[in-house]
Amino acid sequence: MSVIIPEKDLPQSLSPSDSVEAAYSETLADTASSIQRGIPVLIECDKDMAPFVFLNLRNRLRQHEIRCLYLDGRPQTEEQQNLQSGLLGMMIAQLRDAVRGAIDRRVVVLPHLDLLTTSQGGLTAEAKEVIPLLYENPELVWLGFKDPSFSIPSVIENLFPKRFSILGIPRDRLKALITQKESRKFGREFNPWNLYKYVSGMNAVRLRKLLSTLEGEDYPADPKHALTQIRQATAIGKMEVPQVELHEEIGGYDNVKRRLQTEILDVLAVKDGKIEAQEIQRLEQLIPRGMIFWGPPGTGKTLFAKAMATALGAAITIVSGPELKSRWVGESEERIRQIFQRARQSAPSIIVFDELDSFAAARGTYTGSGVEHSMVNQLLTEMDGFKNGELVFVVGTTNFAEILDPALLRPGRFEFHLHIPVPKSDDRRAILKIYDEKMNLEMDEAAVECAVRRTGEFVEGAAPGTQFTGDHLNALCRSLARIRLRDDRNDATTSADVERALTEWVERPSMTLAEEQVVATHEAGHAICTLFCEHTPPIERISIRGDLAGALGFVKSQDPAQKYIVTQNQLLDRLCVLMGGREAELMLLDDLSIGSSGDLDHATSIARSLVEEFGMGGETVGVGQLITRPFGSERTRQYSPSQLELVERAVNRILETARQRCIGILNKNKHLVETLRDLLLDKKVVDAKSLGDWSTANQVPKQAEQKITTVES
């Protein structure tokens, strides 16, 4: 069946009352039937809908000679007019008169139940006075109205055995809520299902007001103008409509973009192009409503959510997970419920729960008050309540996807998982070029490539192991822009500017010449062993400036060609390199610093893993795995005390073999250690080009020279 509606089949005019009947006739009939049978009813609907719903029900009940008493706080008698008790006091007085003065069965209408509670759902002083009245007269039939933005206490809600929700618009009734004149603003072929995604959260009365104000030409080739007016009217509260182009304003991350495009955006685009109801409904079943965007901090998880919203024309709200928590019972769940309510009213929309793991960690791991479990349940309840055709997506961002509650990750909930990792070199290049253009940095090609290489290292001045992300690249480019502003520059940004931006304000240790001599000797030893070990990656950079947190110097190598396979030879070469700093100090300084502590710890760990985990300890130990590492636990050794000596001997043998191999390399190439040390003392930082010039001047053997990255600076 086609969803295209001919103009002649649409109504010529509609009053608000007509629209309420057209949209909710089935629910209203069920409500009236329940009241006729003496069953109290609670209706959840927007405030502006309540009067029209009441009028519809009153007319239905009049046919059965059932009277309604509407208690809205307006004075109805001269005595009530003389009372100075305010709206709430007047409502309570009216309620008291209705309960104690009733001599026959009647329907008492309570249009403002939310006034009897606080926003946290607790009882007000007035509510405590009202509750006994509500239960006092069993002859009365109650009809209550509840605003979806507020909760009411259970003691009041339990008064109503029947509950109906009149929220949003049923998709199959939308065709009855638009007039012929209004349909012309959307083109010659009116497709209410395409319009539905923009108005699914609106009630019929509000929709009629909005449609009656649409401006623009009739029968446009593109309905964009009319849809834009609707979009501006439905984005309420903290919802924003972002403008972030996925392919133009986010650099790199081709795989991430392709997956988001093909699995979400393209499916939605195909759905919007269909006109058969069954085909549309089939495609809607393919679209995941819940998504997890995970990866390190600063990689652009929220930015990708905004780009997705832009592509869909959706509003977005970003909610901080920790800020949702409240010390008041029930308030955290109420906040989640209100967020979903606003998102439904602003559909199409995306809710982003930033730091989802702050309240949705696996059950049994909570360390807080226990409210997290209730928050997860409320979140799942709201997600399970999505209607067909209601375009509301939920995105959870986290740095720790592995700790999330498995109940959240099953199909039908947060089933779409998108990994956004630290940017690779191509990604960094693309990101830098976008910022270069936006900030008018005029970076030359050499500067871009220098920035790409330097941001492949750890962030100087940050916590150890911090890698460059999109946020760090943005900060780098803003620093370059400030340098150009301070220096009143209009020329090109160079590699020297990039280096200045990265290092100008980094606090480094102020070492004496003697200390620099030790550090330079140590790093030269590491570097020479790297050059002469076949299974180590090429060197990119050596520094003795103390610009890496926790280290006075470092040797930076390229990423290994094999990223997923680690061999025994690679580990043994790594042990030799780790010994290089210590043995170079002994060889040239005839002394040892404690700077080798970290190297020895790492080396010992590798040697133990070779013996205990990888079965590479030799024939005396055997090939069995001697330890296990249960998730989240420390090593568990599985060998007897009699095997301990064999294991320790094997570990010591591997370490000593690596040390002797290192000593042999350094003794044979002592002049290279000395000249590289002197180069480091002179320049402090030796990049790939300088290292290449040094290797040529010192006639480094060809096999070792290949271990120098020959990228131009």
Q: How far apart are CA 2 and CA 189, in angstroms?
A: 11
How confident is the model over 237-256, as a mean pLDDT?
A: 87
Q: Comparing C-alpha atoms, which of 548, 660, 665 is closest to residue 598?
A: 548
Q: Comparing C-alpha atoms, which of 484, 663, 520, 673 is closest to residue 595?
A: 520
Report the percentage of the chain scoring pLDDT > 70. Answer: 91
CA 120 to chain centre: 27
Six token digits for residue 248:
């133009």
CA distances, 712 to each of 459, 491, 693 (Å): 22, 21, 11
Q: Where are the domains of the chain?
A: 40-160, 178-234, 254-419, 425-503, 513-705
Report the percentage of the chain scoring pLDDT > 90. Answer: 44
Per residue in 522-544, pLDDT (tens digit) is 999 999 999 999 999 999 889 99
Residue 24 has pLDDT above 50, yes or no: yes
How confident is the model over 251-264, as a mean pLDDT?
A: 93
The H or E element that residue 291 is part of is: strand 290-294
Q: E-assigned strands of 67-218?
A: 68-70, 107-110, 141-146, 162-165
Six token digits for residue 294:
């995970």
Q: Comparing C-alpha atoms, which of 93, 70, 69 is closest to residue 81?
A: 93
Order the strands of the 107-110 sheet from edge to edge: 68-70, 107-110, 141-146, 41-44, 162-165
Residue 237 has pLDDT above 50, yes or no: yes
Q: How far apart are CA 50 and CA 613, in angstroms?
A: 70
Provide the pLDDT for residue 712.
36
C-beta separation of 363 from 253 below 8 A: no
Q: How far apart are CA 409 and CA 395, in angstroms?
A: 12
C-beta separation of 204 from 177 below 8 A: yes
Fold of domain 254-419: Rossmann fold (3.40.50)
Residue 686, strand partner residues: 542
Cis status of the peptide bond prior to 348, with omega within 30 of 0:
yes
Highest CATH level, class, for 425-503: mainly alpha
Q: Which of 183-192, 272-281, 439-448, 578-587 has the lowest mean pLDDT?
A: 272-281
DSSP state of 360: -
SS3 labels along 417-457: EEECCCCCHHHHHHHHHHHHHHCCCCECHHHHHHHHHHCCC
| Beta carbons within 8 Å of 329's beta carbon, 6+ residues apart | none
Q: Comparing C-alpha atoms, which of 540, 508, 509, 512 is closest to residue 527?
A: 540
Q: Comparing C-alpha atoms, which of 413, 200, 166 is closest to residue 314?
A: 200
Higher-pLDDT residue of 139, 28 = 28
Q: How far apart are CA 598 and CA 552, in angstroms?
A: 12
Q: Which of 150-154, 237-241, 357-361, 655-659 has the lowest mean pLDDT?
A: 237-241
Q: Which of 523, 540, 585, 612 is catalytic?
A: 523
Higher-pLDDT residue of 445, 510 = 445
Quickly state the pLDDT bin for 252 (edges 50, 70, 90). very high
C-beta separation of 200 from 387 below 8 A: yes
How confident is the model over 29-33, as a mean pLDDT?
A: 95
Which of 86-95, 277-286, 422-431, 549-558 has the highest average model confidence (pLDDT)? 422-431
DSSP state of 411: T
Assign domain 513-705 one CATH number from 1.20.58.760, 3.40.50.150, 3.40.630.40, 3.30.70.100: 1.20.58.760
Between helices 425-438 and 470-486, what is the axis angle to 10°?
Answer: 40
Residue 144, strand partner residues: 42, 110
70, with CB counted inside 10 A (0-12, 13-18, 19+), is middle
Provide the pLDDT for residue 582.
95
3-state helix, strand, coil in the chain (%, to 5): 50, 10, 35
Q: pTM to 2 decimals? A: 0.79
Q: Residues for the chain: how many in total?
A: 713
Antiparallel, parallel or unpaired: β 539-543 and 685-687: antiparallel
Higher-pLDDT residue of 548, 664 = 664
In this chain, the answer to whether the domains covering 40-160 and 254-419 adopt an identical fold is yes
Quickly state the pLDDT bin for 72 (edges 50, 70, 90). confident
Per residue in 637-648, pLDDT (tens digit) is 666 777 788 888
Provide the pLDDT for residue 551.
78
Q: E-assigned strands of 521-618?
A: 539-543, 554-557
Higher-pLDDT residue of 74, 435 = 435
Q: How far apart are CA 701 and CA 665, in angstroms?
A: 13
Provide the pLDDT for residue 594.
92
Q: Which of 314-318, 366-370, 655-659 has the lowest mean pLDDT?
A: 366-370
Position 683, amino acid: K
- The counts of H helices and E strands in the chain are 29, 15
Higher-pLDDT residue of 658, 192 = 658
Q: How far apart are CA 116 and CA 89, in angstroms?
A: 11
Beta-carbon-side half-sphere exposure of residue 629 (alpha carbons within 13 Å): 5
Per residue in 446-487, pLDDT (tens digit) is 999 999 988 988 887 777 778 899 999 999 999 999 999 999
Quickly state the pLDDT bin for 131 (edges 50, 70, 90). confident
CA 568 to chain centre: 39
How confident is the model over 483-505, as a mean pLDDT?
A: 90
C-beta separation of 316 from 293 below 8 A: no
Q: How far apart are CA 58 and CA 69, in angstroms?
A: 10
Q: How far apart are CA 76 and CA 29, in angstroms?
A: 29
Six token digits for residue 183:
């349909």
Q: Which of 338-347, 653-662, 700-709 has the lowest mean pLDDT?
A: 700-709
| Beta carbons within 8 Å of 188's beta carbon, 6+ residues apart | 219
Residue 500 has pLDDT above 60, yes or no: yes
Provide the pLDDT for residue 654.
95
Quickly state the pLDDT bin for 663 (edges 50, 70, 90). very high
Structure-token match 């102020």, residue found: 510
Q: Which of 78-82, 153-157, 591-595, 682-686 has the lowest mean pLDDT?
A: 78-82
Provide the pLDDT for residue 439.
93
Six token digits for residue 382:
């709201």
Three-state DSSP at 410 gives coil
Structure-token match 């089935």, residue found: 26
The H or E element that residue 392 is part of is: strand 392-398
Quickly state the pLDDT bin for 591 (edges 50, 70, 90). very high
Q: Which of 66-70, 93-97, 135-139, 357-361 has the lowest mean pLDDT?
A: 357-361
Higher-pLDDT residue of 326, 604 = 604
Phi, psi of 697 (to 5 degrees): -65, -30
CA 423 to chain centre: 17
Whole-number average pLDDT of the chain:
86
How confident is the model over 330-348, as a mean pLDDT?
A: 84
Q: How far apart are CA 543 and CA 553, in angstroms?
A: 5
| Beta carbons within 8 Å of 312's beta carbon, 6+ residues apart | 265, 268, 348, 350, 391
C-beta separation of 397 from 302 below 8 A: yes
Provide the pLDDT for residue 255.
94
Q: Which of 165-169, 499-503, 509-513, 545-549 has the lowest mean pLDDT?
A: 545-549
Structure-token match 């006109």, residue found: 275
Provide the pLDDT for residue 366.
54
263 is catalytic: no
Quickly state the pLDDT bin for 711 (edges 50, 70, 90). very low
Q: Comparing C-alpha atoms, which of 549, 566, 516, 532 is closest to residue 680?
A: 516
Provide the pLDDT for residue 369.
55
Q: How far apart are CA 636 and CA 628, in angstroms?
A: 5
Burial readout 693-710 (b: 16 or more C-beta within 10 A, e: otherwise):
ebbeeeebeeebbebbbe
Q: How far apart are CA 307 and CA 93, in angstroms?
A: 54
Highest CATH level, class, for 40-160: alpha beta
Higher-pLDDT residue of 412, 566 = 566
Q: How far apart are CA 298 and CA 514, in angstroms?
A: 39
